[in-house]
Structure 1
Amino acid sequence: MRKHTCDVVVVGAGLSGLTAARLLHKHDLDVAVVEASDRVGGRAYTLENAEMGMISDQGATRCGPAMSTLWQLIKDVGVKVWQQKPTQMVYVTEDSVSRFTPTSLPTWNPLVRLDHYNIFSTMDRLANQVPPEEPWEAPSAQEWDSCTMKDFFDRTVWFKSVRRITDAFVSMLACAEPEEVSMLWFLWLMGQTGGGRFATLVNSNPPQYRVSGGMQQLYKILVEQLGDRVTLNCPVTKVENVEDGVLVTGDGATWEAKAVVLAVPPPCYSKISLSPALPEAFHHFTMGHAYKCTLYYKTNFWGNGDYPDCLAVNAFDDTVPGNKYPALTALITGRKAIEASQTSKEQRKDSICKCLAKAFSSEEAMQPLDYVEMNWNEEEYIGGGFSAYYPPGVLTRYKTLGRYNSTSRVFLAGAESATQGYGFLEGAVWAGKRAAEQVRSTE
């Protein structure tokens, strides 16, 4: 058993853990980062295909000035970015295909437009009533936490066409179905992620950017700054308070430190013996279900420079500057992801191709040059995608939001512990920064 000593151990080498480690290292603290898997990045993963001359981000992808904490980190480390073009939306149903832009809806029916505006403006209004740090203190917290988003939509949405959009909105944001998530939790989530502006399409989306060479480039720079302080392939199994510090036990090694930053996805909480134990609420996090699938084509048959989104499978143009071939990436979330997991890879590809062929009226969609996919629920040390949600009753019963309120020397990071940008890269950076500040305040 190898023995190490340091000031702080960071468990998890995703963006939150690396952010915390970077800040602590900058303040001259001796940091050790311990990662269970064979790579850094957590829920960000850049796949490189040298033979095809292509790269694709199979995890977290986009960034921009609206994600202020993440954007500042990108500027600080000097990673290069390129701007994603504005989107054109394509909504596919069993019997129709509708195209629309960020300033117009796919119908001229005034009642449908009113229904659409009403549901998203109502959700935004209610979300503004949920305190970001203590959502259980919202005026109607008990009522909202006793029902699901399905219950809310059942009594609020009038038209089936609008209901399809609201259900897709929940599935895209929570990677779960409306009947699974607490209404209070989802309203709180909307408040952390910009509300319903994306779905209402009243205003153009804020500028979005991608990291040149893939999101993994950001992680590579962070690891380079930390040098040999990052250990891979070492699952942590135990964290315990000892005299004058904390003892962290991993696979074949131990670390004695003054403090620990725990920056792992919720499914990993149960893999680590913690003393004192985490609050009960932490065991009620439920990870969503998500596939990310990329298809490469000989030509850009979907438009001359347009970047379409196909809401049927939430597909978007994933053509990367420098790549040899244009690409479309499809996100399959919630129930559809569970159903997809029960089919073969070839069947999943065929299903997506048929949807794209219908959306863009092109048989070329049926003939991709290559197809790659990532099932985030199969990742051992991730356990799902893209983030975790709370079912009804948890927030008001336990009154905690991913915070380890104990007298121990364990501090929480990770996107699910954030109260800003929850579940996204923005939340990961925000939580890592907060954890580093908490550690420093105890010195």
Structure 2
Amino acid sequence: FTEVLPDGTWVDRGGAWIGPGQDRIYALMTEFGVAEYKQYTGGDAMMIVDGTTHRYRGTIPWSMSPWAIANLGAGLLEVIQMCKSIPLETPWSAKRAAQWDRVSVGHWLGTRIKSRKAREMLEMALAGTYTSAASETSMLWMLTQMASGGGPVFVISAKDGSQDARPVGGMGAIYRPIATELTEALHLSQPVRSIVQDADGVTVRADHLTVRARRVIVAVPLAIAGQIAYEPMLSVDRSLLHQRMPGGAVMKISVVYDEPFWRGDGLCGQSAAPGTPATLTIDACTDTGTPGIMCVITEGPAARALGRLDESARRAMVIRELVDRF
């Protein structure tokens, strides 16, 4: 959701970025008169590996060792080619679907990528993007997600990629008018407890609400969907999926400064440091450019470790990481 700070600055707590080809969100922006503004990319990005900072532009930090660069480039190209072979409507029908679904992303990286540094970066880019450890993620699932998102380069890129732009006013400028149109049809804080399907439709029950409808879309993580009682019962395969699908972990933290000081240092604000409390950073300033807002995204095992700390300890750890990095 979009939080408005006392000075009127807005901060997106959830999804924030949009990119070419995401036509439906752009259609909503047109419908509600919401403009876009481009993500700031006017400086170097940073990759931090083993305590060494590499400043670069583009996709690959060329100042790394030739061995790491060769492994990183080869791995990325192989993933691009595999994504192209995935039928988006029926990914299970891909020629190598069964083979890919038998192995985790971690196993694939361990057998295909010989450089440890390249493995760490690819794990962050491929599995971390979906908030899981590489050992938890099916290779087929990751390839399907990457392919449906436009391919790995598009998914991880800012300029002309999935972080190309943002709505002026944040995502709240889009969802608030939708909520206004829905009026009494929108019920918040009503967790669904059961869904009963019969020949004429479905009955959805919450603690203090019952809704009758022709059909229902369950749009929640599988771990939460598994807590809903279904009648008739779900198939065995589906029930097992709910039980066995690992839950991702992600933290999104916004740090607000008087100004985006990193821009003056020739940096765009994007950085990546595998396994650290600030796995990824990105400039999250509004369209006015002030105040300076640095978005910190921590994913997978690093997010779980950070989540075990109390709020003050998390805050101190993240800020210390930013001070050291920028």
Measured against the shorter chain, the TM-score band is: 0.7 to 0.9
Q: Does 1:148 align with 2:104?
A: yes
Q: Does 1:55 align with 2:10?
A: yes
The aligned residue for residue 338 of structure 1 is 304
Correspondence list, 1:42-441, <5 A? 45-50=1-6, 52-86=7-41, 88-102=44-58, 105-107=61-63, 109-198=65-154, 205-206=160-161, 208-242=164-198, 244-279=200-235, 280-281=237-238, 282-283=241-242, 284-304=244-264, 306-312=267-273, 313-322=279-288, 325-360=291-326
Q: 1:99 to 1:231 in 2, by over 3 A?
A: same
Amino acid at match of 1:68: D
Amino acid at match of 1:303: R
Q: Distance in 2 between matches of 1:174 and 1:200?
A: 11
Q: Distance in 2 between matches of 1:86 and 1:323?
A: 13
SS in 2 for 1:59: coil
Amino acid at match of 1:254: T
SS in 2 for 1:60: coil
> How many Å apart are 1:258 and its aligned residue?
3.0
Q: Distance in 2 between matches of 1:324 and 1:105?
A: 29
Q: 1:250 to 1:302 in 2, by over 3 A?
A: same
Q: Would you say the 8 A contact 1:97–1:358 is kept in 2? A: no
Q: Would you say the 8 A contact 2:194–2:230 is kept in 1? A: yes
Q: 1:89 to 1:198 in 2, by over 3 A?
A: farther
> How many Å apart are 1:219 and its aligned residue?
0.8
Aligned residues: 314
SS in 1 for 2:317: helix
The aligned residue for residue 276 of structure 2 is none
Of 203-212 and 171-180, more deviation after overlay is shown by 203-212
> How many Å apart are 1:179 and its aligned residue?
1.1
SS in 1 for 2:175: helix
> How many Å apart are 1:250 and its aligned residue?
2.3
Amino acid at match of 2:268: Y
Q: Distance in 2 between matches of 1:274 and 1:103?
A: 45
> Larger RCO: Structure 1 or Structure 2 (Cα < 8 Å, ≥ 6 residues apart)?
1
Amino acid at match of 2:165: Y
Q: Would you say the 8 A contact 1:55–1:323 is kept in 2? A: no
TM-score (ref. length: structure 2): 0.87
Q: Distance in 2 between matches of 1:300 and 1:200?
A: 22
> How many Å apart are 1:124 and its aligned residue?
1.1
Q: Distance in 2 between matches of 1:319 and 1:211?
A: 12
Q: Would you say the 8 A contact 1:238–1:249 is kept in 2? A: yes
> How many Å apart are 1:246 and its aligned residue?
2.6
> How many Å apart are 1:156 and its aligned residue?
1.2
SS in 2 for 1:262: coil
> How many Å apart are 1:208 and its aligned residue?
1.6
- In structure 2, stretches of 5+ residues that fail to align are 274-278
